[in-house]
Amino acid sequence: MWDDYDRRALDRLMGKCTEDEAGCWVWKGSAPGGQNRRRSGARRYGDISYRGRQVVVHRLAYSLMVADIPDGLELDHLCRNTLCVRPDHLEPVTGAENLRRAALARSGGDAWPNAA
């Protein structure tokens, strides 16, 4: 159930995002280990304080804008941009499927699994 705290959290989250040329809503806030940039190829996920704890920003965005993430699933960034919080660029999948898609994208396969 949404409340005023959730509305303010979503406003704060979206206030730290910009849309890029690919249509991603890119998080410009903080990320563990450094200011939201990839270093030495390391993947970075943004984080934000929510209800007294640090949470991964794309998971919070999805939960607030779409629905809770089902138990046992994680969010795949269909756009392959780990700083993207746009809900239609995120899909709940198993860990195995997420790894399979990431490997396919790294090998030059289609980054968007549902592309025609």
Question: How confident is residue 50, by pLDDT bands cut at 50, 70 and 90?
Answer: very high
Share of the chain above pLDDT 70, in %: 83
Q: Is 25 helix (H, G, I), strand (E, B) or coil?
A: strand
From its phi and psi, is residue 80 left (phi > 0), alpha (psi between -120 and 50) or beta? left
pLDDT at 113: 55
Burial of 13 (0-12, 13-18, 19+ CB in 10 A): buried
In one-letter notation, the amino acid at residue 10 is: L
Share of the chain above pLDDT 90, in %: 69
pLDDT at 116: 38
Question: How much is the mean pLDDT over the chain?
Answer: 86
- Count other Cβ atoms within 10 Å, centred on residue 10: 15
8: part of which helix (H) or strand (E)? helix 4-14
What CATH class is the domain 4-106?
alpha beta
What are the sequence ranges of the domains in the chain? 4-106
* pTM of the model as a whole: 0.83
Half-sphere exposure of 51 (CA within 13 A, CB side): 12
